[in-house]
Structure 1
Amino acid sequence: MLYQAEFWVAVAFVLLMAVFAYFGIHHTVLKALDHRAARIKAELDDARQLRDEAAKLLAEYKARHAKAEGEAQEIIAFAKAEAERIASEAKTKLEDFVARRTKTAESKIALAEAQALADVRAAAANAAVTAASAILSQSVTGSVADDLLTKGIAEVKAKLN
């Protein structure tokens, strides 16, 4: 038994443990493990706190995004309504402008027609007077002719004008 390696390894292990116990190494190892456990626990607490803050920030940004989205939709709806209103006003103004221009053109046309009709009547009256005076001057002579001519011209002018 004294010549077996396992025996001497067991003896050395027991002696090593006795030396460690004598110098209080086990207390040092336990303190180091306790410190490490406390440090890990603190890191985990910090990580939880950071995760909670991140979740809070995420919720806040989502709320801001939703609010901004709603405001954008309101702006778009207002712009569409404003564009429709402006288009409607422009259409109404254009229709009024076209109606006024049409009335003005129609009144100018009517005035031109009346002027042309008056010019035609005057030209016809002058032509009739000239023709009547030419016919009467050739067929009737003397004072009777002059009276008839004057009377006929007056009648024609009165009827045509």
Structure 2
Amino acid sequence: MAETNAAVQQGLAHEGAEVTGAETHAGTEHHAEPLLLGFAPPVSIVSASMLVLIAILVWKGVPKLLAGGLDAKIAEIKAQLEEAKTLRAEAEALRKEYADKIAGAEKDAVAMLDHARHEAEAIVAKAQVDATETVARREKMAQDKIGAAELTAITQLRNQAATAAAAAARTLIAANHSAAADKALVDQAIAGI
């Protein structure tokens, strides 16, 4: 243990000498540059490590891998752009198709409306003709009924007149004719046969 204490004190004395040596150079401060494992400064070792790492990466083909990955990504993006162009062309075609269908539907609607108007005009014209014919037919039926009623009334009037005349004739004949006049008439009628 005594040896270790002596070694520690000797190391401390050595450090003290370096510190005092750094302060004694003409009033300027100089720092001792640390060495890594006693070879070179750490900056050189880090630089050398980076160069070795870059060399290993180049040797293993990492730049080719990165370039290949980027090329693959570029190819994928190009494919997506082509697909987008295709989809846009399809959408334009669909839009045009639907615009044509809409225009066709509008033409069909106008044609159907014109057809419906013509049919309505034809129906109205036929209804007017039918109404005129119906009025004429009913007017003729009414005239026929009036004629039949007149004929019936005339017939009834004649029948009543004939009945009245027969009754009057009977009364006159009964009043003015006698049995001898009747016998003469009967004989005259028999002689005419």
| Bigger fraction of residues in helix | 1
CA distance in 1, matches of 2:116, 2:129: 20
CA distance in 1, matches of 2:45, 2:141: 132
Q: Does 1:50 align with 2:83?
A: yes
The residue aligned with 1:2 is 34
> What letter matches 1:61 in structure 2?
L
The residue aligned with 1:118 is 151
Alpha-carbon deviation of 1:53? 1.0
Q: Choose the corresponding residue for 2:176, options 101, 122, 141.
A: 141
> May I ask how many residue pairs the two structures share in their alignment?
139
In structure 2, runs of 5+ residues without a counterpart are 1-32, 179-193
Q: Does 1:70 align with 2:139?
A: no
CA distance in 2, matches of 1:30, 1:126: 138
Higher relative contact order (CA 8 A, sep 6+): 1
Which 4+ stretches in 1 moved above 6 angstroms? none
Q: Taking structure 1 as reference, are residues 17 and 130 closer, same or farther at Cα in structure 2, changes over 3 Å only?
A: closer
In structure 1, runs of 5+ residues without a counterpart are 144-161
Q: Does 1:11 align with 2:44?
A: yes
TM-score (norm 2): 0.59
Tell me, what secondary structure is at the counterpart of 2:89?
helix
Tell me, what secondary structure is at the counterpart of 2:176?
coil
Q: Taking structure 1 as reference, are residues 18 and 112 closer, same or farther at Cα in structure 2, changes over 3 Å only?
A: closer
CA distance in 2, matches of 1:77, 1:93: 24
Alpha-carbon RMSD? 2.8
Tell me, what secondary structure is at the counterpart of 2:34?
coil
